[in-house]
Amino acid sequence: SQQGEEDPQALSIQEGENATMNCSYKTSINNLQWYRQNSGRGLVHLILIRSNEREKHSGRLRVTLDTSKKSSSLLITASRAADTASYFCATDAGTGRRALTFGSGTRLQVQP
């Protein structure tokens, strides 16, 4: 079963608008990561946020983490056509299996 579930499953916006994607997870975590996947390519690591952090920025990306609600959001500001991709959250539960568990992803389409 998937640890993380992204919402929405698909999102279409105009260039210049902001895009927000949400991720909910089930168990406590050590950290949460976001990845981007362009069509037909492998995933690319975007940002990692630790369980004791609430917000993190990287360029046009802003990630928040609410451990009490077991949720995270990824905000892409001033979106560009090149941001068109699928975005996945991945969680590190910190116990047992020492690997990330990925959600099912959000497909973002940025219209030029």
Partner 1 sequence: NAGVTQTPKFRVLKTGQSMTLLCAQDMNHEYMYWYRQDPGMGLRLIHYSVGEGTTAKGEVPDGYNVSRLKKQNFLLGLESAAPSQTSVYFCASSWEIPYGYTFGSGTRLTVV
Residues that bind partner 1 (CB under 8 A): 2, 4, 30-31, 33, 35, 40-45, 48, 50, 88, 92, 94, 97-105
Cα 21 versus chain centre, distance: 7
103 and 87 Cβ atoms separated by less than 8 Å: no
Shortest Cβ 62–partner 1 spacing (Å): 17
Residue with tokens 């997870």, as numbered in its chain: 25
Residue where the block lists tokens 């920025």:
57
For partner 1, the closer CB: 31 or 109: 31
**What region does 35 belong to: left with phi over 0, alpha with psi -120 to 50, or beta?**
beta
Q: How far is the CB of 52 from partner 1 (least distance, A)?
A: 12
The residue among 8 and 94 lying less far from partner 1, judged by its C-beta, is 94
Least distance in Å: CB of 53 to partner 1? 12
